[in-house]
Amino acid sequence: EIFVYLPPQYFEQPERRFATLYLHDGQNLIDPRTSHIPGQTWRAHSTVDRLAADGEIESLILVGIFHAGVRRITEYTPSSDPQLGGGEGENYARFLVEELKPFIDSRYRTLPETERTGLGGSSLGGLISLWTGFHFPGVFGRLAVLSPSLWWTRRSIFDDVERLTPEPKPRIWLDIGLLEGGRHVRNAAAMATLLRRKGWDGAHLRYVEEPAGTHSEEAWAARLGDVLRFLFPA
């Protein structure tokens, strides 16, 4: 299941085309009735519309991809853990690249170019966003990687990032909340260091440690504005 949110400008300017941001965990983005924690959402549509109206970001089409419920771990992980399972992330990424994006581009007035297409999520959604950006280069040129689960299968994502260098380099927002736990903060900082060593400069990488940040929808909602300002500036 997906939803597509079209900004007001989509209807006001019928000849215009728009950048697109694909976000995982679609249940948590807009509708408080479907969110993992009832009443807590990213408020993604209102944040996008407010910042676009203020001239801080370009207007965006939002595509929210609902996770598969009890199969969320399986869907969002590119490798299998002996205790936790998972490992169908490549199939999910191929669905995004080979089916969903072509469908959205054919149905709506998108700007389909790499630099006008973003992918993002939090936790395991952050992990699969980063993995997809490196394994399917030239599709998603903007990556929103919030509180990513970099620990998955003994930090195997580090091997992927070390081994692969997608061209063109995607612009990456990477963050972590300092209240999420020391191991997760250390992993995020190590990933930022690795990306910088591989050539991601300040124009292509923004790494943020949020002092009061927790692993929650409210924390990610609070950071979304800064994410959008970096990835899709006006």
CATH number for the domain that contains residue 225 = 3.40.50.1820
As a whole number, mean pLDDT of residues 127-131 equals 99
State percent of the chain over pLDDT 90. 89
Evaluate if residue 39 carries a pLDDT over 90.
Answer: no
pLDDT confidence bin for 119, thresholds 50/70/90: very high
pLDDT confidence bin for 117, thresholds 50/70/90: very high
Buried b (16+ CB within 10 A) or exposed e, 138-174: ebbbbbbbbbbbbebbeebbeeebeeeebeebbbbbb
Phi, psi of 162 (to 5 degrees): -65, -40
Evaluate if residue 32 carries a pLDDT over 80.
Answer: no
pLDDT, residue 84, reads 87
pLDDT, residue 47, reads 97
CA contacts within 13 A on the Cβ side of 107: 12
Instruction: To the nearest 10°, report the CA torsion of 59, 196, 168, 129.
Output: -60
pLDDT digits 0-9 by tens, 10-28: 999 999 999 999 999 999 9
Report the C-alpha gap between 58 and 131 in whole angstroms.
26
Host domain of residue 30: 2-231
pLDDT digits 0-9 by tens, 72-82: 999 999 999 88
pLDDT, residue 195, reads 99
Token pair of 37 as six digits: 């924690």
As a whole number, mean pLDDT of residues 32-58 equals 89
pLDDT, residue 38, reads 76
Tally of domains in the chain: 1
pLDDT, residue 74, reads 94
As a whole number, mean pLDDT of residues 220-230 equals 98
pLDDT digits 0-9 by tens, 158-167: 999 999 999 9
Give the SS3 label for residue 208: strand
C-beta separation of 194 from 158 below 8 A:
yes
As a whole number, mean pLDDT of residues 103-116 equals 98
Evaluate if residue 36 carries a pLDDT over 80.
Answer: no
As a whole number, mean pLDDT of residues 168-183 equals 97
Report the C-alpha gap between 62 and 21 in whole angstroms.
5
Report the C-alpha gap between 111 and 98 in whole angstroms.
17
Give the SS3 label for residue 174: strand
Mean per-residue pLDDT of the chain: 96
pLDDT, residue 30, reads 82
In the chain, which ranges are continuous DSSP H helix?
Answer: 8-12, 44-53, 72-76, 89-95, 101-107, 124-135, 152-163, 182-197, 217-231
Evaluate if residue 9 carries a pLDDT over 90.
Answer: yes
